Chains A and B, each alone.
Chain A
């Protein structure tokens, strides 16, 4: 059982079994546990908030429909993340066919807001512009790690890739983001990592 499961109660496998029998509370717990990760992965693929939200929600419904196909219920997270990626890629293809060109990465709402929201909006715009420069897998990894606080090991398990590959993607994603986000006069500016509580990655190597 992961720390997440310990904190939230029943392990994934038990929740999946109960959800298979239509227990709404069990499914609600699964949604609560993976909603942010689903959104991050979808955002990494789609790049647009509204699409990521749709893809994440759809992925939960598809997962519920196909729950009987999840044979190893202890590895629900990996199975579910595959669904999120597939749904997101389907959306990209569908939109590309409709529009005739790749989607621009546009994270967050562009609605005009009050002054205090304007700064956040500007930061979001800059981040969005920077993220679009990354590869899809780099976006997923950096969003899951630096936005959701997942560990290398968790990302590796759930995106089904070696842990070393996760580290590599994370490293290059961060380096690229720093280059893109740094103003011309501050080439090496580092943004403090509040989400991951500034924990150096080296501490995770034991996990």
Chain B
């Protein structure tokens, strides 16, 4: 078999050889005949798209509902993590209160005590080194 043989000129069999507009007409006729089928396919596409969304929704909606329910439960309950996080602050507050209770306010600072007030002013003056 000779692989370098020349081809046969069959161009005269091309319908466009004697009719340049042949293929354009072929195209147009084919598409005209195909139009109802294409329209039918377009119409079928819309419900198909809807079905796709529904099937997608069927899968996603329960998962979303489950997630929302779980989040609600978390919000309503006292999460142990929150207690742990607030523990240091609570302890500090307790320590301060306990210290105040232990030391107590000096008697001369008691409310309504005139002596206490004079003593307080004198104490401040002493602290300032008598420069007032």
Contacts and interface: CB of A to CB of B under 8 A. Distances in A.
B34 A61 contact: yes
Interface stretch (B3-11, B68-76, B84-92, B114-122): B3-11
Contacts of B23: 35-36
Interface stretch (A2-10, A74-82, A141-149): A141-149
Interface residues of A, number: 60
A23 B33 CA distance: 15
Interface string A4-35: 00000000000000011111100110011001
A120 B20 CA distance: 14
Bin chain B's interface residue count: 35 or more
Per DSSP, chain A at the interface is helix
Contacts of B37: 61, 64-65
B26 interface: yes
Given A22-B45, A35-B26, A201-B7, 8 more contacts: A35-B30, A57-B29, A61-B33, A143-B13, A147-B10, A192-B6, A200-B3, A201-B4
23 contacts: A22-B40, A22-B42, A27-B34, A31-B30, A35-B23, A35-B30, A49-B15, A57-B33, A107-B13, A113-B18, A142-B8, A145-B7, A146-B10, A147-B11, A147-B14, A171-B5, A174-B7, A192-B9, A193-B8, A193-B9, A194-B11, A201-B5, A202-B4
A-B residue pairs, 4 tightest by C-beta: A22-B42, A193-B7, A22-B41, A147-B10
Interface of A: 19-24, 27-28, 31-32, 35-36, 39, 43, 49, 53, 56-57, 60-61, 64-65, 67, 107-109, 113, 117, 120-121, 123-124, 127-128, 131, 142-143, 145-147, 167-168, 171, 174, 177-178, 181, 190-196, 198-202, 205
Interface of B: 1-15, 17-18, 23, 26-27, 29-31, 33-35, 37-45
